[in-house]
Amino acid sequence: AKATGKSRCVVYSARDNGPPAHDISLEAAMFSAVREGEFLLYYQPIVSARTRKIEGFETLMRWKHPTLGMVPPARFIPIAETNGLINLLGAWALKAACVQLRQFEQAARRELYISVNISPRQFRSDKFLDVLDEALAISGMPGRQLVLEITEGTLMVDPAHAETILERMAGREARIAIDDFGTGYSSLAYLKRFPISVLKVDRAFIKDLPGSSKDAAICNAVLDLARHLDLSVVAEGVETEDQLGCLAERGCHYVQGYLTGKPMPPHVAIAALNDDMYE
Ligand code: C2E
Ligand code: CA
Ligand code: CA
Ligand code: CA
């Protein structure tokens, strides 16, 4: 199996397992998809709420199946998490995304950052730190430009182990973002225990803004908490001007959502960066 910094995940194998993908389960199809290079990476802009300038990108995996079309990650990531394929796919995504960021930076002629989703199983894997080091080495990217998105659940299944991993990671300077913030564990104790840098506020708290006073209160509280703990906040799933306005007004620095850019293939992301330059 090969998971290098290439733009497609390709695994070379002498085996060829039988029937065409539409006849067999999604899980079986995934193994051939890896061999055939059907997994791709899309990139969604994370922008400044005030200027709308692109500050970074979140890496989002896509599976372009020859007959099923685009299979959503909500369907294939849980399967990959169960059968372990996530370690291979996740390693490839991390390396390819770091390499991709360098190309984005050349197009933009400024520093950007790249955010990569790390699944619970990948985070716990013995190989995780080696993969991280390899991603930084092959891309030549400084660790501080990398954000690893993990969920509250990933930290809290085994907090002691998570602590060890994060301690060992410290020298790399990669930042940790809490993905889907507010939807997992009710305790905030982990914010004290772990070196967190970014909170990504789940779309659940954004989608009814500005009308919902409860959601507005939750956003205010999260922004306030973040200010006091010196964390940055990214509001996820921003779809309307009203939502953006409401968040910017409350001092939210970063937003991500269909309003300011859907997940896109690399060449479209480069075009978006070029548009940014001439504004
Ligand atoms: P996530 O990490 O919370 O990613 C955000 C999801 O929200 C993405 O869905 C994105 O396309 C979607 N989104 C962005 N802006 C908007 C918006 O304005 N409105 C709405 N309705 N949705 C928006 P996507 O790409 O389908 O990914 C779903 C989930 O799959 C991700 O949720 C993440 O948990 C997982 N995933 C995706 N790529 C990877 C990967 O490379 N590794 C791992 N471990 N998980 C991944
Ligand atoms: Ca994410
Ligand atoms: Ca999220
Ligand atoms: Ca989510």
Q: What is the pLDDT of residues 23-34, one digit of tens each?
A: 358 888 999 999
What's the pLDDT at 229?
Answer: 95
Q: pTM of the full predicted structure?
A: 0.92
* CB 46 within 8 Å of CB 145: no
Q: Is the CB of 125 under 6 A from ligand 1?
A: no
User: Residue 258 CA: which ligand 1 atom is closest?
Assistant: 18
The arithmetic mean of pLDDT across residues 38-58, rounded, is 98
Answer whether 257 contacts ligand 1 (Cβ < 6 A). yes
DSSP 3-state assignment of 25?
A: coil
What single-letter amino acid sits at 2? K
SS3 253: coil
One-letter amino acid identity for 153?
G
Q: Tell me the two tokens of residue 183.
A: 């939807």
Q: Which tokens hold the place of 246?
A: 């409401």
| Four-CA torsion 222, 223, 227, 231, nearest 10 degrees | 70
Identify the pLDDT of residue 23. Answer: 38
- Which residue type is seen at 261? G
Structure tokens at 71: 């299979």
Could you tell me the sign of the dihedral formed by the alpha carbons of 209, 178, 4, 142, in that order? positive
pLDDT of residue 15: 44
pLDDT at 106 over 50: yes
CB of residue 81 inside a 6 A radius of ligand 1: no
Compute, in angstroms, the gap from residue 19 CA to the centroid of ligand 3: 36
pLDDT of residue 252: 97
pLDDT > 90: percent of the chain: 83
- Return mean pLDDT, the chain: 91
Cα separation, 61 vs 40, whole angstroms = 6
C-alpha distances in angstroms, 258 versus 47, 48, 79, 263, 266?
11, 14, 27, 8, 17
Give, rounded to a whole angstrom, the gap between the first and last alpha carbons of the chain: 44
Q: Does residue 48 register a pLDDT over 60?
A: yes
Phi, psi for 142 (deg, rounded to 5):
-65, 140
Instruction: Quote the pLDDT of residue 10.
Output: 57
pLDDT in tens, 240-270: 999 999 999 999 999 999 999 999 999 999 9
Chain centroid offset of residue 83 CA:
21
Task: Give the pLDDT of residue 12.
Answer: 44
Of 242, 210, 248, 224, the closest CA to residue 48 belongs to 248
Give the pLDDT confidence score for residue 189 in this predicted structure. 85
Confidence band of 4 (pLDDT split at 50, 70, 90)? low
Give the integer Cα–Cα distance in Å for 116 and 135.
12
Greater model confidence, 25 or 171: 171
261 lines ligand 1 (CB under 6 A): no
Whose atoms come closest to the Cα of 154: which ligand? 1
- Cα 277 to Cα 108, 257, 266, 270: the distances in Å are 7, 20, 17, 11
Whether residue 79 is predicted with pLDDT greater than 70 in this model: the reply is yes
Predicted local distance difference test score (pLDDT) of residue 17: 47
Q: Is the CB of 263 under 6 A from ligand 1?
A: yes
Q: Check pLDDT > 50 for residue 59.
A: yes
Ligand 3 center to 114 CA (angstroms) = 15
**Average pLDDT rounded to a whole number, residues 71-81:** 94
pLDDT value for 13: 45
d(C-alpha 210, C-alpha 243), whole Å: 6
The whole-number pLDDT of residue 25 equals 82
ipTM of the complex model = 0.98
Q: Is 14 in the pocket of ligand 1 (CB under 6 A)?
A: no
